[in-house]
Amino acid sequence: MGISLFQKSLRDMISGMRSNRNNEEKYIQKTMEDIKKELKSTDMKVKTVALQKLTYLNMLGFDMSWAAFHVVEVMSTPKLLHKVVGYQAAAQSFNESTDVMLLVTNLIKKDLISTNPTERSIGLDCLSNIVTLDLARDLIADVYGLLSSSSAPCRKRSALVLYCCFLKYPDALRPCFKGLVEHLEDNEQSVVCSVVSVLCELVIRHPHNYLEMAPLFYRLLLSSTNNWMTMKLLKIFGALTPLEPRLTKKIAEPLKGIMQQTMAKSLLFECITTVCSGMTANEDIVEMALGHLKDFVLDSDPNLKYLGFKALEQFVRHIPQSVLRFGNAALMCLSTADPTIRSSALRVISGLVSKKDLKEVVVRILDHVPAADTAYRNELSDVVLKICRREKYALVSDFSWYLNVLVELARVPGSTHGKEIAFQITDIACRVEAMREDAVQAVRTLLIDPSVVEMAGEGGSIAEVLEATAWITGEYASCVEHPKETIESLLQPGILKLPCRVQAMYVQAILKVFVHVSNDLLCEDDDDNNDGGGGEEGEEDVEIDKNAVVGELSDLITAHVGQYACSPDPEVVERMSQLKAVLSLRTGDQASDGPTYRRLHSIISQELLPMSGKAQRKVPRPEDLEVVTPIMEEFYDEDVDGTAAEHEVGDGEAADGPEAERAAQFRSADAAQALTEATDEQRRHAQEHAKNQLKEHRQRHGIFYLAGEDKEAEGGAVDGDDGSAGLPEQSANSETGSADGALAGQQGGGMDSAYSKMRKKKSRHRKKSAVVEVRRDEDDGMAADSPVKQARNALDVNPLAPLESGEGLPEVEAYPTHYGAGEGGIPTYDAAPTTAMAAGPEADLIGDAAPREAKRGKEKRRRRKHKSRKHQQEDAGAEAAAE
């Protein structure tokens, strides 16, 4: 009793928490200790208050699973005021793994068969909250019994609780179903309504089992006066009509009637959703629904607007042609401030867009980009990219325009779609020969704009677009119109801020453009291919001029390319040295330079076709090829580390960005030194050797490099993290140390895949932590599938089929007579003789005769009243009794 005097009440505790805001944690810790002591108290009042406090703290996130036994203690008090506290605590803290669950069964059973309506109702409530398979099995007969109680609120509640039991114990559905359905004819509307709610849940999950009941639902729909119930019935028909088109005809008339008469928007909306879920074939009613839908979409209430678009999304999925008229309204909505409505409108738009109006729609979507915030901007970009890429660019007829759209999207500040844009630009340029010139022109604007490079230097995914830009410029150098300008822009100092692999791509592009231009200028016999850089030269003094132009370009490059020497990435340094070596070949004499450049050009001009991502797999692996063992242990590790660090920095993901970069610099600077020790001669030789090998290899296996199916190419580009699938030649000459091109490719591929695996793992990990994962309790450890899900599948039974012999509800056990009065307050089980289910009420009376003597008469009357009900149960009951 001592504690009771000094015990803090719930109110005290909350006030205390509010006044101790600064050291709340300490206060709660102290309170928790008190609660632990108080819970052990013998005074029920103290215990109850402690539990109340604990429940409150649990809501704030503190664990209370350790107190499960005390919860049961409080639950078992006869005092309702205390019991309710226990029940609420149980509802909040119990789950399948709670081991004291066994003790609860009898408590609730006692409530369910109580004559006190309050006890029954809180018992039912508690059961619905904590029901497990065992509880459902033991108590379902009682709940089912309450379905025929004389009190309407009780019937109503027990119908809903039955559903909770079905979820955990699906075997009960069939035996109970008949009795449940009978209550559709209950004279209390609210009971009918809750039975309909339960049926709605059941039908929506497994509609095919309930088709036979359609006439019954139809009758209810006609007679229903309760909007809530009508909505549930409409939901039911929404699930049934897709399976049985004939129903459409039947319910069209009542639906029309409802739509015309009702004032309730919720009911009207339900009618519309019913129409779009399965009645789209009936033009009349679709027209009518769309008429109402228009009011929703144009309504100024954001809720109705949102719902309008949500229904539109459904219509777009089934009959896009008839909702075309909403396209404009959807486009107008893109400027609303509500992200939910905007997303929905965007989905509608992307479903409605056609080849004809693609340009207009995309332009109108892009109109909203400047004013949007970053998230919305990305959403808009995403929609455009997805619409256009759909079915291999089926909607795009003007690729030249689309390339410019892509470039525009790349410039969107804060864009996260760089990878996708880069892929699409490269994809189009690779596949469509006629588009290459346009592609080079389109990316030129990105290339020569120093602000873009600056933007990329600050992070963001535009760097990926620049990588593709550089690749396209280099690869299709023959389409470059202003070589000097291009080379100048490829040498911008800002490029040093870009990720290393982009820098490497830039250096490579310089080499390609230079070689191409030189070849064009210096090789006379190349007249037929004179559309390149030579165009602007004066017609006279051609030879001197040409040589001078090449000289000028060469000087320009030599003057600036040195900036890459301090790059932390060996790849960049490596390519820079190559470039320098090529430049140093120039003697200034056209006669000797011509053939050199022609030879170099013949290597570079080899066209790279889009390659299937699976192509490498089809190349038979040479038997003596060893790809698993690293060639040099320490180098291998170094390289992987370097790449990883670089990727991290490039993507701006690493929290310790600068440190990682510095570390990578140190490591790879050593590696770079080691690699550049080879002379330029050797390197060039190796490169040429590799090129030739690759060429030979291509000739031999030419068939595998044919443009693969779109899907495969896609896979390749997505897989190849640094674009190795699209740009196979880079991987070949990136490993000059080993002359074997094929080996290099394989090795690179191996590392790539290992790396991408690592990345994938990482990203998956990240995703995991970001997403709120809500598992249902799997604590039973029985199966990977959650029990609820299993139960839902198990509910897929035909409840209308006659019961098989032996199928029925478990029997009602009489509950123990001396319950609760035992030592220690632990409720005890009593294996009293079992009685058949139909005899439930009698069993109650036998079990707990004394306190209910007075009510026996009433009970009898009730039973007489429900005698007819019992007759119907006999089918089920007789079987149960037979056991």
> Is residue 118 a contact residue for another protein (CB under 8 A)?
yes
By CB under 8 A, name the one of 7, 31, 55, 643 that touches another protein. 55
Interactions with another protein, residue window 812-831 (CB under 8 A): 821, 823-825
By CB under 8 A, name the one of 19, 23, 65, 679 that touches another protein. 65
> Is residue 711 a contact residue for another protein (CB under 8 A)?
no
DSSP assignment of 297-332 equals HH-SSHHHHHHHHHHHHHHHHH-GGGGGGGHHHHHH
Q: State which residue, 218 or 228, has the beta carbon closest to another protein.
A: 228
Q: Count residues near another protein (CB under 8 A).
A: 88
> Is residue 459 a contact residue for another protein (CB under 8 A)?
no
Query: Looking at residue 835, what DSSP letter applies?
Result: E
Q: State which residue, 85 or 172, has the beta carbon closest to another protein.
A: 85
Give, in order, the Cα–Cα distances in Å from 497 to each of 452, 494, 569.
12, 6, 12
Stretch that binds another protein, among 200-208, 404-412, 517-525, 839-847 (CB under 8 A): 200-208
Stretch that binds another protein, among 6-14, 28-36, 364-372, 714-722 (CB under 8 A): 6-14
By CB under 8 A, name the one of 70, 155, 156, 546 that touches another protein. 156
> Is residue 129 a contact residue for another protein (CB under 8 A)?
yes
Interactions with another protein, residue window 232-251 (CB under 8 A): 235
Residues 736-775 as x/- pattern, contact with another protein by CB under 8 A: ----------------------------------xxxxxx
Give, in order, the Cα–Cα distances in Å from 547 to each of 477, 520, 541, 544, 579.
19, 11, 10, 5, 19
Q: State which residue, 10 or 640, has the beta carbon closest to another protein.
A: 10
By CB under 8 A, name the one of 38, 125, 438, 752 that touches another protein. 125
Residues 292-321 as x/- pattern, contact with another protein by CB under 8 A: ----------xx-xxx--x-----------
Interactions with another protein, residue window 834-853 (CB under 8 A): none
Longest dimension (CA), the chain: 125
By CB under 8 A, name the one of 60, 371, 703, 784 that touches another protein. 60
Stretch that binds another protein, among 112-120, 623-631, 636-644, 857-865 (CB under 8 A): 112-120
Give, in order, the Cα–Cα distances in Å from 69 to each of 63, 73, 131, 141, 294.
14, 6, 17, 26, 57
Question: How far apart (Å, rounded) are the C-alpha atoms in residues 465 and 663?
Answer: 27
Own/partner pairs for 258-261, CB < 8 Å, 24+ apart?
Answer: 258/230, 259/288, 259/289, 259/292
The answer for residues whose C-beta is within 8 angstroms of residue 171's C-beta and 6 or more apart is 794, 807
Question: How far apart (Å, rounded) are the C-alpha atoms in residues 73 and 546?
Answer: 99
Question: How far apart (Å, rounded) are the C-alpha atoms in residues 152 and 146?
Answer: 10
By CB under 8 A, name the one of 20, 340, 558, 798 that touches another protein. 340
| Nearest distance, CB of residue 529 and another protein, angstroms | 54
> Is residue 343 a contact residue for another protein (CB under 8 A)?
yes
| Nearest distance, CB of residue 460 and another protein, angstroms | 23
> Is residue 322 a contact residue for another protein (CB under 8 A)?
no
- Residue identified by tokens 């009780």 is 154
> Is residue 501 a contact residue for another protein (CB under 8 A)?
no
Question: How far apart (Å, rounded) are the C-alpha atoms in residues 482 and 628?
Answer: 46
> Is residue 78 a contact residue for another protein (CB under 8 A)?
yes
> Is residue 32 a contact residue for another protein (CB under 8 A)?
no
Q: State which residue, 493 or 851, has the beta carbon closest to another protein.
A: 851
The answer for residues whose C-beta is within 8 angstroms of residue 60's C-beta and 6 or more apart is none
Q: State which residue, 9 or 261, has the beta carbon closest to another protein.
A: 9
Distance between alpha carbon 847 and the CA centroid of its chain, in Å? 54
By CB under 8 A, name the one of 111, 138, 186, 201 that touches another protein. 201
DSSP assignment of 673-700 equals HHHHTS-HHHHHHHHHHHHHHHHHHHHH
> Is residue 334 a contact residue for another protein (CB under 8 A)?
no
Residues 215-234 as x/- pattern, contact with another protein by CB under 8 A: -------------x--x---
| Nearest distance, CB of residue 810 and another protein, angstroms | 20
**Number of residues written out for the chain:** 883
Interactions with another protein, residue window 679-708 (CB under 8 A): none
Question: How far apart (Å, rounded) are the C-alpha atoms in residues 521 and 525?
Answer: 10
Q: State which residue, 289 or 462, has the beta carbon closest to another protein.
A: 289
Stretch that binds another protein, among 70-78, 244-252, 363-371, 606-614 (CB under 8 A): 70-78
> Is residue 338 a contact residue for another protein (CB under 8 A)?
yes
Residue 471 near residue 723, CB atoms below 8 Å: yes
Q: State which residue, 306 or 326, has the beta carbon closest to another protein.
A: 306
Q: State which residue, 180 or 836, has the beta carbon closest to another protein.
A: 180
> Is residue 163 a contact residue for another protein (CB under 8 A)?
yes
Stretch that binds another protein, among 74-82, 173-181, 627-635, 647-655 (CB under 8 A): 74-82
The structure tokens listed for 137 are 């099995």
By CB under 8 A, name the one of 49, 124, 331, 425 that touches another protein. 124
By CB under 8 A, name the one of 128, 149, 519, 734 that touches another protein. 128
> Is residue 378 a contact residue for another protein (CB under 8 A)?
no
By CB under 8 A, name the one of 1, 6, 21, 81 that touches another protein. 81
Interactions with another protein, residue window 10-29 (CB under 8 A): 10-11, 14
Q: State which residue, 12 or 659, has the beta carbon closest to another protein.
A: 12
Phi and psi torsions of 282, nearest 5°: -90, 105
| Nearest distance, CB of residue 201 and another protein, angstroms | 6
The answer for residues whose C-beta is within 8 angstroms of residue 543's C-beta and 6 or more apart is 590
Residue 351 near residue 323, CB atoms below 8 Å: no
By CB under 8 A, name the one of 7, 105, 121, 616 that touches another protein. 121
Residue 575 near residue 474, CB atoms below 8 Å: no
> Is residue 204 a contact residue for another protein (CB under 8 A)?
yes
Interactions with another protein, residue window 506-535 (CB under 8 A): none
Distinct helix (H) and strand (E) counts, the chain: 44, 2
Own/partner pairs for 272-277, CB < 8 Å, 24+ apart?
Answer: 272/296, 272/311, 273/234, 273/238, 273/311, 273/314, 274/234, 274/235, 274/237, 274/238, 274/241, 276/311, 276/314, 276/315, 276/318, 277/238, 277/239, 277/241, 277/242, 277/314
Residue 174 near residue 209, CB atoms below 8 Å: no
The structure tokens listed for 214 are 């359609």
> Is residue 84 a contact residue for another protein (CB under 8 A)?
yes
Interactions with another protein, residue window 258-287 (CB under 8 A): 265-266, 269-270
Question: How far apart (Å, rounded) are the C-alpha atoms in residues 132 and 167?
Answer: 9
| Nearest distance, CB of residue 804 and another protein, angstroms | 28
3-state SS class at 840: helix
By CB under 8 A, name the one of 106, 194, 665, 687 that touches another protein. 194
Distance between alpha carbon 136 and the CA centroid of its chain, in Å? 34
Stretch that binds another protein, among 50-58, 325-333, 579-587, 683-691 (CB under 8 A): 50-58
Q: State which residue, 153 or 457, has the beta carbon closest to another protein.
A: 153
| Nearest distance, CB of residue 335 and another protein, angstroms | 14
Closest to 671 measured CA to CA, from 647, 640, 639? 639
Question: How far apart (Å, rounded) are the C-alpha atoms in residues 285 and 283?
Answer: 6
Q: State which residue, 55 or 730, has the beta carbon closest to another protein.
A: 55
Residue 222 near residue 812, CB atoms below 8 Å: no
The answer for residues whose C-beta is within 8 angstroms of residue 773's C-beta and 6 or more apart is none
